[in-house]
Amino acid sequence: MTETEHERRMARPRMAAGALFFNDQGHVLLVRPSYKPKWEIPGGYVETGESPLSACRREVQEELGISPTIGPLLVADWAPSEAEGDKVLYIFDGGRLQPGELNAIKLAPDELLEAHFHPAKTLDELLIPRLARRVTRAIDARRHGHPQYLEHGEPPPHG
């Protein structure tokens, strides 16, 4: 196999990283983008030469105007898409936002319409299905202290 044939076979997934932030009631912070019909979590695409954690920090700062501590990885999800190609999506633990951080949130006006905390039981109606599955698994990972590897938002079959 020549070098170019080998390179063509190598995966080149797009990567994105986001964070889950919580309030005192354990509700999850969701943002409503101006360019999509459903809610999202804060985050976005990883740029060339950038780690997923660095991308998460940058995107949170750009979207929310705050720079809270971003904790450990909760979920890595392989999410291929016929329309967009393979993706690897990361969710990190943003923890509980403190009052000063909440008061300092300033949404990126060209990107986000609003940001609100929502109970986990409402995720299925607010998020697209695969993101709802991914976020639910990330909440479980946070609760149990074990990151999860997912495929399409679900644990892969064992075997």
Confidence of residue 8 (pLDDT cuts 50, 70, 90): confident
Average pLDDT over residues 120-138: 96
Q: Write down the pLDDT at residue 95.
A: 97
Q: Which residue has the tokens 């039981």?
A: 121
Q: Write down the pLDDT at residue 6.
A: 64
**Residue predicted with more confidence, 159 or 31:** 31
φ and ψ at 124, to 5 degrees? -60, -30
pLDDT in tens, 63-74: 999 999 999 999
Element (H, E) at 1: none
Q: Is 11 exposed, middle or buried (0-12, 13-18, 19+ CB in 10 A)?
A: exposed
Q: Domains, the chain, ranges and CATH? A: 12-151 (3.90.79.10)
